[in-house]
Amino acid sequence: MALEVCTKAAVGVPDALGDCPFTQRVLLTLEEKKVPYKLHLIDVSNKPQWFMEANPEGKVPCVKFDGKWTPDSDVITQILEEKYPEPSLVTPPEYSSVGSNIFSSFVKFLKSKDASDGSEQALVDELKALEDHLKEHGPYVNGENVSAVDLSLAPKLYHLVVALGHFKEWSIPKDLTYVNSYVELLFARESFLKTKPEKKEYVIAGWAPKVNG
């Protein structure tokens, strides 16, 4: 039976898959494990009553396991690994925090209005740390096979590329060749192509109030 998954609908387009990176992480995990699923697109600016009753915190992603709605991508992906162990997506603990500061550094830089506040350099430093890791252990964080940490990073890197490209005309430095190849590899995976926001504009529309606000 297909697992039911609540996902974010695109901003202003309630019948299109939207731009939540945490939801895409869950969908990537389902695709990689070939678990059938059924989407409920949630307009987060006008959440349906049934969704709020099932999931009072009101956040997506949210997945129904054995009749109970469960939120939070960390919890959901852990349950998916336990319920559907093949193929294993377990990242060895020593690599599980690789790249974990990239998303917050990206958001800080994206929202920054002060070019001298160090937020760009802080992001570059995080990307350089990823570069060093991939150079030694790549092409994925754990070597030849994709694992959970890559599926968490992929949607966040997609937001980084799209939003910084649009709002700051910024791209990942060319000399970070391993990071650039990693991004290409992730974005070309079949699972990624099937689960990414239908249009780049949805990512831009999702960030616009936070950038302009």
Ligand X SMILES: N[C@@H](CCC(=O)N[C@@H](CS)C(=O)NCC(=O)O)C(=O)O
Residue selected from 9, 22, 109, 202 as contacting ligand X according to rule CB under 6 A: 22
Segment lying near ligand X (by CB under 6 A), choices 56-64, 110-118, 140-148, 164-172: 56-64
What span, in angstroms and rounded, lies between the C-alpha atoms of 100 and 104?
8
Quickly list DSSP for 131-148.
Answer: HHHHHHH-SBTTBSS--H
Which is nearer to ligand X, 59 or 196 (by Cβ)?
59
Residue selected from 59, 156, 159, 196 as contacting ligand X according to rule CB under 6 A: 59
Could you say whether residue 73 binds ligand X (CB under 6 A)?
Answer: yes
Radius of gyration of the chain (CA): 17
Q: What's the closest the beta carbon of residue 61 comes to ligand X, in angstroms?
A: 6
What DSSP character marks residue 168?
A: H
Q: Which of 20, 141, 146, 153 is catalytic?
A: 20
Residue selected from 17, 20, 183, 204 as contacting ligand X according to rule CB under 6 A: 20
Which is nearer to ligand X, 72 or 120 (by Cβ)?
72
| 62 catalytically annotated | no
Quickly list DSSP for 76-122.
Answer: HHHHHHHH--SS--PPPGGGTTTTTTHHHHHHHHHH---TTSSHHHH
Which is nearer to ligand X, 19 or 32 (by Cβ)?
19
What span, in angstroms and rounded, lies between the C-alpha atoms of 59 and 117?
32
Copy the structure tokens of residue 165: 């490209």
Segment lying near ligand X (by CB under 6 A), choices 57-65, 98-106, 130-138, 153-161: 57-65
Of the candidates 65, 56, 48, the residue with the CA atom closest to the CA atom of residue 9: 48
Residue selected from 4, 43, 72, 201 as contacting ligand X according to rule CB under 6 A: 72
Which is nearer to ligand X, 10 or 183 (by Cβ)?
10
What span, in angstroms and rounded, lies between the C-alpha atoms of 121 and 195?
31
Could you say whether residue 60 binds ligand X (CB under 6 A)?
Answer: yes
Q: What's the closest the beta carbon of residue 22 comes to ligand X, in angstroms?
A: 4
Beta-carbon contacts of 4 under 8 Å, excluding residues fewer than 6 positions away, are 37, 38, 40, 63, 64
Segment lying near ligand X (by CB under 6 A), choices 53-61, 82-90, 120-128, 180-188: 53-61
Footprint on this chain of ligand X (rule: CB under 6 A): 8, 20, 22, 44, 58-61, 72-74
